[in-house]
Structure formats: C-alpha cells, structure tokens
Amino acid sequence: MPRIKPPAIRPGDTIGVVSPSSYKSLEALQPGIQKVVQRGYRLVFGEHAFDRRGYLAGEDRDRAADLNAMFANPDVKAILCTRGGYGASRILDYLDWDVIRAHPKPFIGYSDITTLHLAFLRHTEMVVFYAPMIITLARDVSRLAVENLFELLEQPRPLGTYDTREGNVRTLVPGIAEGELTGGCLCLVTAACGTPEQVDARGKILCLEDVDEPPYAVDRMLTQLKRCGVLDEAAGFVIGEITNWEQHVHDPAETLTIEQIWQDILAPLGKPAIVGFPFGHMTNPLTLPLGVRARLDATAGTLTLLEPAVS
C-alpha cells in the first residue's frame, strides 16, 4: 500500500501544538513559537498542552485527546509537538487511528515522539516528520535547519540531496541503498521491539540517533536490534550522533567509543552506512520525512529524497 502524503502547508495556515510526552512551560517555548509565527503561521494550542503531572504533560487520556482533536479539526493543517521527554508510549491505546487516518496532516517531532512516528507508520501508512519541535526552535537553530523543515512541509516536490555542511558525515560502509526512511531515536526504536509498533525495517533505510546515552547502553540497544532481526532486514543505515555520550565516560580504558560500537555491530552487516548525519538531538537538525523513499550513497556520504514528503 502506498504511503499517504499529507497535504502541503503554506503561510497563513493554522498549526496545532500538542504535548504528547513531557511538560515545558509556555515561557520557555516562546522563542520557538515566534519563529513559527514569523514564518506566517497561526498557532492553536491543545487544551492540555501545558498540563503537568510529574514528568508528564498531564494525564494520558488528555494528551491523547489533544492529538485526536487536532487531527479531527479541519482548521488545523499540521501538528507540531512542543517537546519530547517521556510519555508518548502511554497514550497509544487512546489514539483514534480511524480519525487520524481519515485526516492526514504533517505530524512533526522527534526524540520521544519516535514512539508515535512508528505507530503512525504502522497504523495509518502516513508519512511523518522526524523534525525540530517548538523547544528545538527556541534555541539558536541555524537558518539551514529551519529552511529545510519548512521546505519539506511546504513544497510538494522531491527535496533532492540534503545539504549536510553543518554535520560531520562519514562513510562507515560504502555502497548504495534505496528504500523508505524509518527509525528515529535509538532508545525508543529499541523499546518498541515486541510491541505492535515494532519498527518495520524490511528493505528500508534505518535512521538512528540518540542523546545522553553511555556507550554500553548504545551497545546493548544495537545488539538487541540485531538479535531481533531489525538490523539484518534494513537496506542501509543513516546514523546521526549519540550526543553527549562522553559525559558518561570517567576512564577511557573502561569503555568502547561510539565509533567502535558502530564498527563492531553495524559494519559487519556489510550494508551501506553513514554516520554523523545531522538530525535529531543535534545543534542544527535536518528534517527526515519517515515513509518517504530515499537514496543513500554511503560512498559519497549523501542522502537524497526521491519523492515529495507532502502532496
């Protein structure tokens, strides 16, 4: 079944803002809100977008209700998450997949939102966007990253080859692979194993990145994905960075580096792979539309979108 491409958005449209995971104050989000408004968009906030219950942005059913309502609202043309954190997995059983499937819209987020992206790909066949959130845009994000986000959301044409000048892309395994993009935050992709939302990597380009994970944890998660068959099914790999992993290392003699882990677990698979692609928990993250076909030339260190992300 072909993927559903949500309709393109344009300045003047209304974007719905939701908090499916953790809480962030409106004050902390203001700089990011201003960037979206300056682009020409109106924002409407979910009823519970600023609720708080411990590390969660309110009750599970309320966070799910906000998401369902945004998809059902014909005035809302795209849905943007405030932040990640934790909690998306707790709302999956309360989402109305029939409503979501019947009203395709760009759904935008990363980190803990990986859980929802994998669910959308499984249950709706809709393209989703692993992309900067409001909290990301509240930082001093580069013009390149912001323009990349909106070009993918606004232009119903193939992006072409990504401009990765703000990353540090290296070839891990040379070669060429084509397939849909899938994946997201490593710890959430791994946590989905054994659930109905387990990542489907068959013939796809698996994209993985994470933040604040010690090397042994990255090793453990990749090993689990290998033993689950996920890595063997993939056509190729686009690996970002494990941002801030060094903070967990007190004695270099007692750890492997992240590069050694890629070499130990991914390189022997012999599939085209690059590392250092700038997405996710990076200073200037590019946007990956999951469910869109792409061409990975790992020898050249390039990733090219072969089709539009929106209709």
For the question of residue 117 being annotated catalytic, the response is no
Which residues in 91-226 belong to E strands, given as ranges? 107-109, 128-130, 160-161, 170-173, 176-185, 205-211
Residue 245: what pLDDT? 81
pLDDT at 58: 98
| Model pLDDT, residue 129 | 98
**Which CATH architecture describes the domain 14-139?**
3-Layer(aba) Sandwich (3.40)
- Residue 301 near residue 136, CB atoms below 8 Å: no
Task: In the chain, list all ranges with CATH 3.50.30.60.
Answer: 160-305
- Res 113: pLDDT: 98
pLDDT, tens digit only, all 311 positions of the chain: 789 999 999 999 999 999 999 999 999 999 999 999 999 999 999 999 999 999 999 999 999 999 999 999 999 999 999 999 999 999 999 999 999 999 999 999 999 999 999 999 999 999 999 999 999 999 999 999 999 999 999 999 999 999 999 999 999 999 999 999 999 999 999 999 999 999 999 999 999 999 999 999 999 999 999 999 999 999 999 999 999 887 877 878 789 999 999 999 999 999 999 999 999 999 999 999 999 999 999 999 999 999 999 99
**Residue tagged active-site, from 197, 209, 213, 241:** 209
CATH 3.40.50.10740 in the chain: give the residue spans: 14-139
H/E element holding 219? helix 215-227
User: Residue 22 catalytic?
Assistant: no
pLDDT score of 246: 78
Architecture label for domain 160-305: 3-Layer(bba) Sandwich (3.50)
Q: How far apart are CA 15 and CA 107, in angstroms?
A: 10
pLDDT at 262: 97
pLDDT at site 186: 98
Contacts with 17 (C-beta within 8 Å, 6 or more apart), sequence order: 43, 44, 45, 46, 49, 79, 80, 81, 82, 134
Residues written for the chain: 311
pLDDT at 77: 98
Beta-carbon neighbour count of residue 103 at 10 Å? 15
Query: Which is catalytic among the residues 111, 117, 213, 241?
Result: 111
- 209 in catalytic set: yes
